[in-house]
Amino acid sequence: MDDSDMGTFISRYRVPVPDSWALWFPGERKAEAKVAPARLADTREGQEFVRRAVLRSEAKLEGAGTRMATMIWVPDRRTGAVQAIGGCWRLGWPPPAVRPTRDEYLIEAKKLAPAPGVTILSSSFATDEVDAGSVAVEGLATSDTPRGGFGAVLRPASSSTILQIRYTIFPDGCDEAFRIEAVVDDLDLARQASAEIARITQGVVLTLSERT
């Protein structure tokens, strides 16, 4: 990509989420832990699941770039079971590096080797277009070795496999990218979770500003 196509950064962002999700920004974790339980779960036990998940998620979630928000998914409010945790990241490529195009990014993503001790069981790569830009879509099913404390957040932790769902937006004329990523612990919900992340990505609004 030509350097002349760059020169802007993501100065503001809006990530609307469906009613079955809670999303909060840096510094809002404790406040979200007070309001999310009643919004996402009906029973007292389910609300406690949600409260603990909000308080623990930030410490358990890793990702590249600068994390802009954290989120959890509760598809069944009757149980309050947290079936995915995720977040939003702003990705930058400091000079002299140049942000890749979506297609260039996917070529390199397909070459990445797993971390030590991690077994990749399956992977998928696709592309999409949303109002905010071109999107690289990645799905990666791995052994649960790298999940660390995810089992303390996700309920039920019934599978020995986790699915990472990653949607990375490449805005036109910007030298940054915006990523939404989630980890799912119940593969029976993988298709539904992927559709949820796709829906969230479609609604993302990014404001770009010129670098000075």
> What contacts 72, CB < 8 A, 6 or more positions away?
21, 22, 36, 50, 53, 54, 57, 82, 84, 85, 86, 153
In a domain, 9, yes or no: no
Cα gap 138→166, rounded to integer Å: 5
Question: Is residue 101 a part of any domain in this protein?
Answer: yes
Amino acid 155: pLDDT: 52
Q: What SS3 class is residue 13? A: strand
Residue 5 lies in a domain: no
Q: What is the CATH number of the domain that holds 114?
A: 3.40.1000
> Which residue from 201, 161, 211 is spatially nearest to 183, judged by alpha carbons?
161
For residue 143, tell me if it sits in a domain: yes
Where are the extended beta strands (E) located within the chain?
Answer: 8-14, 21-24, 66-73, 84-92, 120-130, 133-143, 161-170, 176-184, 205-210
Residue 31 lies in a domain: yes
Domain housing 121: 19-207
Mean per-residue pLDDT pooled into runs of 10, the chain (212 residues): 62 95 94 97 95 85 84 94 92 89 95 78 94 96 60 55 91 95 86 95 96 79
Q: How many structural domains does the chain have? A: 1
Q: Is 155 inside a domain boundary?
A: yes
